[in-house]
Amino acid sequence: MGERAERVFGKKNFMELYAVFSSPIMYRVQTETGRDLGSFEQAYVDRLVEEMTSFLLGGRPWTVEHVNHGDKTVRVRPAPGGQKPSWGGYIPQHLATRSVSEFEKSFSRNGYRIHTSMRAQLQ
């Protein structure tokens, strides 16, 4: 950001620009008796179908009985078979690149020079 910009605008004004991703919401996976088996990200839980979806967790197959979004829990029962869970990850680089680009434009219009890479710092 540069020392001059930090002195003028303050470091705390730009903290949100540095946080370009957030932690995923997690759901606890529990048996009918309430025993915790593990957890899943909400993106995976949103694709589960009660009484139909079966998956592997802890080396065993489970069928979804109920998803409780309020408590962030997935209740399961043993199943004859299941599939390995999979989900895609969010790629924050695109958002970060765009945010930094807009940030640079804003500061350069106001006469501030910003170093965003080692190469830029060496020039």
Query: pLDDT tens digits for 10-52?
Result: 655 555 555 556 678 999 999 999 999 999 999 889 999 999 9
How much is the pLDDT for 98? 59
With respect to residue 31, please indicate whether it lies within any of the assigned structural domains.
yes
Question: For tokens 């065993």, what's the residue?
Answer: 60
DSSP string covering 4-73: HHHHHH-GGGGHHHH----PPPEEEEEETT--EEEEEEHHHHTT--TTT-EEEETTEEEEEEEEETTTTE
Domain count, the chain: 2
How much is the pLDDT for 96? 53
With respect to residue 51, please indicate whether it lies within any of the assigned structural domains.
yes
113 close to 105: Cβ distance less than 8 angstroms? no
Taking only the tens place, the pLDDT of each residue in 51-96 is 998 999 888 999 999 999 999 999 999 999 887 776 555 444 444 5
With respect to residue 108, please indicate whether it lies within any of the assigned structural domains.
yes
Are 30 and 73 found together in one domain? Answer: yes
Domain extent at residue 101: 3-21+90-122
Are 13 and 30 found together in one domain? Answer: no
Are 33 and 73 found together in one domain? Answer: yes
Residue 115: pLDDT over 60: no
Are 74 and 45 found together in one domain? Answer: yes
With respect to residue 114, please indicate whether it lies within any of the assigned structural domains.
yes
Are 31 and 58 found together in one domain? Answer: yes
What token pair was written down for 44?
A: 């995976």
* Global pTM exceeds 0.75: no
Question: For tokens 């895609």, what's the residue?
Answer: 88
Tell how strand 36-41 and strand 26-31 pair up.
antiparallel
Are 8 and 31 found together in one domain? Answer: no
With respect to residue 84, please indicate whether it lies within any of the assigned structural domains.
no
Are 74 and 100 found together in one domain? Answer: no
